[in-house]
Structure 1
Amino acid sequence: MSRNGITRRTLLAAAAAGATAASTAGFLAGTTWRAVAGAPAILKALPPERFVDFGTNAETRWASVDPRRYLTPQPDLFVRNHTVTPTIDASSYRLRVFGDAVRRERSLSLRDLRGFRPAEVTTVHECTGNGRSFFASQQGESVSGTAWTLGAVGTVTWQGVRLADVLRALGVSRDAVSIQATGLDPSYATGGVDYGPVRRPFPITKAYDDALLAWGMNGQPLLPDHGYPLRLVLPGWVGIASIKWLGSLEVSSTELTSPWNTKWYRLTGGSYPADAPPLSVNPVRSAWELPLGAQLARRHRIELTGRSWSGAGPIKRVEVSLDGGATWRTAKLADRGRRGAGWSRWSVVWKHPAAGEHTLLARATDVRGRTQPDVTPYNSNGYFFDAVVRHPVTVV
């Protein structure tokens, strides 16, 4: 330590923070803001050829996905907001860490956090309601919530620090069991009830396993719509668990709750019990990289592409049917051996397709042996639609 109490590590951290602040300013200055359909809930541009604009939410169109690109560019990633995207000053930002299971309350700046060992992780990031519209269109069941098809998902590489490193440095007691993450977005009100800021607890075991405090995505600072200046990332888990605009972490020796794990983001209705647990690990899903109802020019060979993913680990196998399920074949996987918990791209060649209407199906199996079913059991909020999606196309 130097005579004035400043260590070399502190100086390096400050330099990194300054460089990142400059990078952030440049990146955000080059971003196109707009005042149309989704505004002011969403700040980034939502060109209609790439997004379905739901106002507070925006879905990526699969027809706009580049089969050659593995990671989802941040400007193209779906947006799920409960209220509106807040504007936060990174220079005055602080993350409050408190609770009866932490040695003492701390208020951490971005500079403080950048003093920890940097970490990076590639994950599938997905809304819990992804695929919700198919409960109605495919199974004839009415559910509540945004009518996503399958575009509320993307694979990104996050940059930040491991939450475990921060917790160990702050001194967390051995009897800690739960952490409540709370965002800085405006309070959520519906049905005449103000539920307060978006917040959700998660087990201390997940915190020590792979949780990340992220300030970057794909090598760039987070955009405001995706949690700038800091967000929580819980790899493989439902999107609501990765709280954006992270304002505080309460570390507790008792199980914490919030409306986002008791009232919502649980499987309710149908055959589910009243005490069904909060949702955590995402299911297995697949999507074709073309619009529903696409028209395909008739050729001797048509190469079709898609992606499959799972919250529990890599995809082991993808089977496809080009005739509505009468026959199946194994698709060619493009991403075997890729590190991280991202999705798997796949392709299939359709030889001599007949003119007319066809139904495409894709069914994935992950390394845990979980396979997409033919039907997803009903739940009132339309979560976790993981059934094989019937994808109509017409060969002309």
Structure 2
Amino acid sequence: KIVSIEDSIVAGKGMTVPEITSLLRGKKGTDVSVGILRGNQKDLLDFTITRDAIPMNSVDVAMMLDDKTGYIRLSRFSAKSYEEFMKGMEPLVEEQKMKDLIIDLRGNPGGYLQQATRILSQLFKDKQALLVFTEGRKTGRNEYSTSGMPFFDVNNIVVLIDEGSASASEIVAGAIQDRDRGVIVGRRSFGKGLVQEQYELSDGSALRLTVAKYYTPSGRSIQKPYDDKEKYAHDFMDRMESGELSGEADAEVIDSTQYHTTNGHVVYGGGGIIPDVFVSLDTSMFSDTYTALRQQVSRFVYRYMEKPGHDFSEFTLETFKDDFQVDEILFKDFLDFVTRDDVEIDEVDLANCKADIRNRLKAQIARQLFREEGFYGILLDNDDMVKEAMRVLRLPDPLANSRNEE
């Protein structure tokens, strides 16, 4: 806990996070002194911190899932995503001998097109293979192609997408699918394929003008229809109610035009990327009980780790995964922590989500001990989409077999 910042006591003052943040912020290179109290120690610890820019990484984690399969999660495409991607890939390939790769773009809203195409180029050996093109009435056609100079040799690729994967994420998935470079696993992506230019106005506001659209190598438009604003805004709920997300109904084909991948496989456009392998959304996790519990996991774990008597010094990540369990006593402590704020827990909903919440508690403890590799190392073991990706990669011919082709 932060007790003091410079000469000001902040603990017990009821200060908000922005107020505390403003005391910590300052000119780059200057120092700020803070007093820290750790839960298992009685004495105040004094630290001097040099202020600097805090990096906002777009690669959440790069790790091995087994002895041949690597996993990289990209939360967005920022100005340094290519650099981060390559930095994550190097130890996986050079030190851990990665052969296959899972790229997780779930919930990735997009970002810098050039960063996405540079990453894509590293996944193809072909030179000048079209990855994506933009086209508008005034801007003409602009193409982005491969360099033909990948630094790493990757065999099979699986890309994970869902309804939150948009823009540059869809460009990556669309290029991988159209070029038959890998298998797309998950649910239909968001459907955002507009090129916009921003103009600053004198009153401080800005105007974003659509000047072109993105198209995949086969010519598919990524953009879903937006002539009906209400339907556009309620797209997620429409997918939920139609049964698309649960797998009770097929993904909506908005553009019935048939497009073809390099090998002749039929694909469709006009509303996001439809995956080769569908994984349903677990709708039981949409209860108020699940939301309330999940929101409190991090807070509870911080309190739990502060208390004396918890010795994790002998654990490695592997032994922690195998030996540490969130038992009934710990889970009851968590429920007591949540319900002290008068949160109502529905017993039926609790039974449905208990296994997931227990796993998230364990993952959050692992994050405190082993950082992001610990967190995802636990979380992904119970991830249905990752499990399906691993199943696909074990097929004799992942691409052909997942599409039911010879």
TM-score bucket (shorter structure): under 0.3
- TM (normalized to structure 1)? 0.24
In terms of fraction of residues, the more strand-rich structure is: 1
Larger radius of gyration: 2
